[in-house]
Amino acid sequence: MSASDEALLQQIARAETQALSELYDRYGRLIYSLAVRVVGEGETAEEITQDVFVQVWRNAHTYQPALGRPVTWLVSIARHRAIDVLRRRRVRADGYLETAEIDGFPLKIDEDEEPEPQTERDSSRERINQALSRLPAEQRIVLLLAYFEGLSHSELAERLNEPLGTVKTRLRLGLQKLRQLLESDDPGL
């Protein structure tokens, strides 16, 4: 029987590299995919993924189960790291970086990167995409912009050319509705 994610983090806290290797096998693709989605290219995404797993290695002893599942913790570290990179780029570019298209988001991918084969995580992926597709388009767009580009309220309002209050409402309603859909038995129905 394979170890739980929590058990792997405990082993990592004891400096067992095999546990980190197994954690990478479980979530390396997810973290890398998220990083590519945020920064838009593979080379920086590789650096981010490395940093995330090194951070997990160094801080596994600080993980608190009461604050969420290990995968949520990993994803949160990865998203913050990737958005930091994105923000620094924006500052350098003195304006918006042309990132992926939001609703449908095609991406530029290195030639040696192949699509993922079918895995058990596909059902979770299908579930979130199905739930997202059931949100009103304006809520979905603002939610994806906030999550994948880390835009603040005022940045979202400027990007979408909408009043600040409208953006705030869409963001709040979008996440709440998404939660309800994911908690229901079938977000596709």
Asked if residue 184 binds other proteins (CB under 8 A), the reply is: yes
Phi, psi (deg, nearest 5) at residue 63 = -65, 130
Binding other proteins by CB under 8 A: which of 61, 69, 93, 96? 69
Specify the residue, 6 or 93, whose C-beta has the smaller distance to other proteins.
6
Asked if residue 164 binds other proteins (CB under 8 A), the reply is: no
Smallest distance, other proteins to C-beta of residue 18, A: 10
Specify the residue, 25 or 98, whose C-beta has the smaller distance to other proteins.
25
Asked if residue 81 binds other proteins (CB under 8 A), the reply is: no
| 33 Cβ contact partners less than 8 Å away, ≥ 6 residues apart | 116
Smallest distance, other proteins to C-beta of residue 66, A: 4
Asked if residue 124 binds other proteins (CB under 8 A), the reply is: yes
Distance of alpha carbon 174 from alpha carbon 153, whole angstroms: 14
Distance of alpha carbon 35 from alpha carbon 60, whole angstroms: 21
| 8 Cβ contact partners less than 8 Å away, ≥ 6 residues apart | 19, 20, 22, 23, 70
CB 37 within 8 A of CB 83: no
Binding other proteins by CB under 8 A: which of 49, 99, 135, 141? 49
Smallest distance, other proteins to C-beta of residue 81, A: 13
Binding other proteins by CB under 8 A: which of 26, 33, 159, 166? 33
CB 77 within 8 A of CB 55: yes
Distances (CA, A) of 30 to 45, 102, 179: 11, 19, 20
Smallest distance, other proteins to C-beta of residue 101, A: 12
Chain residues 139-158 in contact with other proteins, contact rule CB under 8 A: 143-144, 146-148, 150-154, 156
